[in-house]
């Protein structure tokens, strides 16, 4: 029997429809087989999604009345910029450097790198895991006057303490106390250890052995509250200064955690910020902050008076692409972690370019970095943190 053209076309349409329907309903199985996802694998995440998730949780468990953030766009931004509805208007531990990095290609690298300030490799330590001395997502580091190294880990929700050779000493914290959104760790002038937990809007003060002494703050945009706080630093009087990504401000507190003042607002000019990261204070009590989206460093007095700024987004000498950590050597030179350019740039205290340390790569013995994230300098030794999934390194 010979089928007509119309009948043949109808049969083809029916078969095609059945094939596409089968594929559509089996997409989940297809993807699960093609992309074998291990829960321990590390993926870059969209911070805007994380912040929405944080805001949603905040509505149910935080009664501080913090307003939700809204998207804002600026022509110079390379990626969507998140901005709070209410802007906040204004009203030295010398010389070893600890640096941190993200590894773009090999997420199984987990180490702290240690170098001399000329970039000569000294040592490194760490590996992926949940045991003592291991890391899941090390985020920041600090070094005390005895050259002990403290590392915060977002996924472990703890702080680990090492000696300067990387031997594990102790740890403290858990998922009940800390959130999975820990940021900076720093040492005050009395040797106490301070940890920023932006997920809970808290700033915690500990003894060097992990005993809690004090907690400051809650989530919000009001004075004394925190909206994605990132950095913490201390002046010679032990006053406390914090940098906040999504409140676009620096806050100042007395040593007991009482609010004193704030300055900064959203923007690209002097005393304006778009994505604040690190904050550091030199031996003369000058305050330095870097801005990921503006690609610059700004310098202030301890009372918030603008002094100078330098840098712009780029890859040339003196240009910065997502700067993060800041610290100083014994001469007062400023070391800035230039994350996306895989280097540390060195400037005078007035912002004059001196040199760069590091290059892109995965071998710490060659002074190579991949998305370095934090740095600390003690006795002119530089410690660098690999925080993609990971651990610190030491340089002199």
* Cα 187 to Cα 96: distance, rounded to the nearest angstrom: 14
Instruction: Assess if residue 314 is contained within a domain.
Output: yes
The pLDDT, as a whole number, for residue 187 is 97
Handedness of CA 244, 247, 249, 253 (dihedral sign): negative
- pLDDT at position 102 over 70: no
Claim to verify: residue 237 and residue 349 sit in the same structural domain: yes
Instruction: Assess if residue 106 is contained within a domain.
Output: yes
Instruction: Assess if residue 41 is contained within a domain.
Output: no
Claim to verify: residue 206 and residue 59 sit in the same structural domain: no
pTM summary value: 0.74
CA atoms within 13 Å, Cβ hemisphere of 80: 9
Claim to verify: residue 141 and residue 100 sit in the same structural domain: yes
Question: What's the domain range around 56?
Answer: 47-84
The pLDDT, as a whole number, for residue 81 is 38
- pLDDT at position 230 over 60: yes
Claim to verify: residue 54 and residue 201 sit in the same structural domain: no
The pLDDT, as a whole number, for residue 103 is 37
pLDDT tens per residue, range 272-309 = 999 999 999 999 999 999 999 999 999 999 999 999 99
Claim to verify: residue 63 and residue 123 sit in the same structural domain: no
The pLDDT, as a whole number, for residue 8 is 64
The domain tally of the chain equals 2
- pLDDT at position 239 over 80: yes
Higher pLDDT, 234 or 182: 234
The pLDDT, as a whole number, for residue 381 is 96
pLDDT tens per residue, range 157-204 = 999 999 999 999 999 999 899 988 888 999 999 999 999 998 999 999
Q: What is the mean pLDDT of the chain?
A: 79
- pLDDT at position 76 over 70: no
Instruction: Assess if residue 35 is contained within a domain.
Output: no
Claim to verify: residue 65 and residue 123 sit in the same structural domain: no
The pLDDT, as a whole number, for residue 369 is 84
- pLDDT at position 61 over 90: no
Which stretch of 41-45, 202-206, 333-337 has the lowest confidence by average pLDDT?
Answer: 41-45
Which stretch of 47-61, 81-95, 135-149, 334-348 has the lowest confidence by average pLDDT?
Answer: 81-95
Claim to verify: residue 51 and residue 100 sit in the same structural domain: no
Average pLDDT over residues 63-87: 35
Question: Could you write out the DSSP letters of every residue in 166-228?
Answer: --EEEEE--TTTS-S-EEEEEE-TTS-EEEEETTTTEEEEE-TT--EEEEE--BSSSTT-BSS
Using the 3D structure, point to which of 84, 113, 134 is the last residue of a domain.
84
Instruction: Assess if residue 377 is contained within a domain.
Output: yes
Claim to verify: residue 54 and residue 127 sit in the same structural domain: no
Higher pLDDT, 108 or 180: 180
Counts for the chain of helices (H) and strands (E), in that order: 3, 32
Higher pLDDT, 324 or 108: 324
The pLDDT, as a whole number, for residue 16 is 61
The pLDDT, as a whole number, for residue 42 is 29
- pLDDT at position 254 over 90: yes
Question: String of b and e for 288-297 (b: at least 16 CB within 10 Å)?
Answer: bbbbbbbbbb
Instruction: Assess if residue 170 is contained within a domain.
Output: yes
Query: In the structure, what pLDDT confidence band is assigned to residue 366 with cuts at 50, 70 and 90?
Result: confident
Nearest Cα residue to 342 out of 78, 80, 105: 105
Using the 3D structure, point to which of 39, 58, 84 is the last residue of a domain.
84
Higher pLDDT, 361 or 344: 344
Instruction: Assess if residue 216 is contained within a domain.
Output: yes
Which stretch of 68-77, 200-209, 356-365 has the lowest confidence by average pLDDT?
Answer: 68-77
The pLDDT, as a whole number, for residue 131 is 94
Residue 216 sits in a domain whose CATH number is 2.120.10.30
**What are φ and ψ of residue 264, in 5° steps?**
115, 155
Claim to verify: residue 127 and residue 52 sit in the same structural domain: no
* Cα 303 to Cα 263: distance, rounded to the nearest angstrom: 9
Query: In the structure, what pLDDT confidence band is assigned to residue 65 with cuts at 50, 70 and 90?
Result: very low
% residues pLDDT > 70 (the chain)? 69
Claim to verify: residue 72 and residue 116 sit in the same structural domain: no
Using the 3D structure, point to which of 55, 84, 113 is the last residue of a domain.
84
Claim to verify: residue 216 and residue 78 sit in the same structural domain: no
Instruction: Assess if residue 21 is contained within a domain.
Output: no
Claim to verify: residue 105 and residue 219 sit in the same structural domain: yes
With a CB cutoff of 8 Å and minimum separation 6, the contacts of 118 are 357, 396
């Amino acid at each position: 029997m010979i089928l007509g053209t119309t009948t043949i076309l109808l049969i083809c349409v029916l078969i095609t429809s059945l094939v596409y329907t089968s594929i559509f309903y089996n997409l989940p199985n297809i993807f699960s087989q093609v992309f074998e996802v291990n829960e321990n694998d590390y993926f870059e995440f969209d911070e805007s999604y994380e912040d929405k998730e944080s805001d949603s949780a905040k509505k149910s468990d935080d009664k501080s009345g913090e307003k939700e953030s809204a998207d804002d766009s600026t022509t110079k931004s390379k990626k969507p910029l998140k901005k709070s509805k209410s802007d906040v208007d204004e009203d030295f531990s010398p010389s070893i450097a600890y640096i941190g990095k993200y590894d773009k290609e090999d997420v199984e690298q987990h180490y702290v790198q240690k170098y001399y300030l000329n970039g000569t490799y000294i040592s490194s330590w760490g590996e992926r895991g949940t045991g003592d001395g291991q890391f899941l997502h090390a985020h920041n580091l600090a070094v005390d006057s005895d050259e002990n190294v403290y590392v915060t880990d977002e996924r472990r929700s703890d702080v680990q303490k090492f000696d300067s050779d990387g031997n594990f000493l102790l740890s403290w914290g858990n998922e009940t106390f800390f959130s999975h959104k820990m940021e900076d760790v720093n040492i005050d002038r009395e040797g106490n250890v301070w940890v920023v937990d932006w997920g809970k809007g808290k700033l915690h003060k500990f003894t060097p052995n992990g005993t809690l002494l004090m907690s400051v703050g809650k989530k919000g945009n009001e004075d004394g509250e925190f909206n994605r706080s990132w950095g913490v630093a201390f002046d010679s009087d032990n006053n406390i200064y914090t940098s906040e990504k999504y409140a676009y401000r620096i806050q100042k507190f007395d040593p007991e955690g009482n609010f004193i003042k704030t300055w900064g607002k959203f923007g690209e000019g002097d005393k304006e910020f778009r994505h604040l990261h690190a904050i550091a204070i030199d031996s003369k009590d000058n305050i330095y902050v870097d801005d990921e989206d503006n690609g610059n460093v700004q310098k202030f007095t301890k009372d918030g008076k603008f002094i100078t700024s330098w840098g712009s987004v780029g890859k040339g000498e003196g240009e910065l692409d997502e700067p993060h950590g800041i610290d100083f050597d014994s001469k007062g030179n400023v070391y800035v972690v230039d994350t996306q350019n895989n280097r540390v740039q060195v400037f005078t205290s007035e912002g004059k370019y001196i040199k760069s340390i590091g290059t892109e790569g995965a071998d710490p013995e060659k002074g190579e970095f991949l998305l370095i994230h934090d740095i600390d300098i003690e006795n002119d030794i530089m410690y660098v943190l690999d925080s993609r999934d990971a651990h610190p390194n030491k340089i002199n």
